[in-house]
Amino acid sequence: RKEVEQDPGPFNVPEGATVAFNCTYSNSASQSFFWYRQDCRKEPKLLMSVYSSGNEDGRFTAQLNRASQYISLLIRDSKLSDSATYLCVVNGNTDKLIFGTGTRLQVFP
Amino acid sequence: DVKVTQSSRYLVKRTGEKVFLECVQDMDHENMFWYRQDPGLGLRLIYFSYDVKMKEKGDIPEGYSVSREKKERFSLILESASTNQTSMYLCASSWGGRAEQYFGPGTRLTVT
């Protein structure tokens, strides 16, 4: 079993739609959780951290379910510029991070 | 704003050549990391460093070495490049005790 698993997609959604991605992780001792965004042929960029209480940043909402060991990202009112690959990231030992292989989102007009 | 820079965006080398990839960060981060990213495999950790002159093996260190002589600079060395090392190489850095990492723009290396 992979340490971090994501549906690769692609998720094809129209502008204005709401879309959600899930990610599961295997290490129950993980303490830090993130979503990164990666545009085609560019580096990953930190989108948001994921806290136990959940957190929201504009149109983006992240949730953590420790009991079921999954993380979710909800994007409301999708924009064309949201088209990218979204990486689920969990900490491993100490400051090391484990990256999922990403979920591709394509928003169409 | 965190800035991580890498010496080259694109590099083409021949099999057997020694290759140096340089990474510099300007945020006084303690931790630095080298990854490679391949389609379908995601990011895989090659080496990392928590301090000057310190290095730790990641998940796929074979065929690579690193050097960290100054806090802001972390070099990845391919001792004898091979075609299976054709990949996107990404450098990242983070503050000590903080998990979130910040990435450089990447170097797309092709070994022919």
- B28 vs A: CB within 8 A: no
Which pLDDT score, from 0 to 100, does residue A108 have?
Answer: 97
How is residue B85 annotated by DSSP? G
- B41 vs A: CB within 8 A: yes
3-state class (DSSP) for residue B84: helix
Dmax over CA atoms of chain A, in Å, equals 43
Which pLDDT score, from 0 to 100, does residue A53 have?
Answer: 87
Which pLDDT score, from 0 to 100, does residue B111 have?
Answer: 98
The reply to whether residue A43 touches residue B90, judged by beta carbons under 8 angstroms, is yes
Reading the block at residue A42, the tokens are: 């560019």
Using CA atoms, how far apart are residues B15 and A74, in angstroms rounded to an integer?
45
Instruction: Give the range among A85-94, B17-26, B57-66 with minimum mean pLDDT.
Output: A85-94
Which pLDDT score, from 0 to 100, does residue A94 have?
Answer: 66
- B98 vs A: CB within 8 A: yes
* pLDDT tens string B47-70: 999 999 999 999 999 999 999 999
CB B112 within 8 A of CB B15: yes
pLDDT of B93 higher than 90: yes
Residue with tokens 């959940």: A54
Complete DSSP assignment for A39-93? -TTS-EEEEEE--TT-EEETTEEEEEETTTTEEEEEE-S--GGG-EEEEEEEE-S
pLDDT of A2 higher than 90: no
* pLDDT tens string A5-60: 999 999 999 999 999 999 999 998 898 999 999 999 999 999 999 988 889 999 99
**Chain A hits for B90, Cβ within 8 Å:** 43-44
pLDDT of A95 higher than 80: no
For range A70-80, the mean pLDDT: 97
Using CA atoms, how far apart are residues B4 and B92, in angstroms rounded to an integer?
7
A94 vs B61, residue with greater confidence: B61
Using CA atoms, how far apart are residues B73 and B26, in angstroms rounded to an integer?
9
**Chain B hits for A44, Cβ within 8 Å:** 43, 90, 103
Dmax over CA atoms of chain B, in Å, equals 40
Which residue in B48, B103, B108 has the most chain A C-beta atoms within 10 A of its own C-beta, making it the best mutation to test that interface?
B103
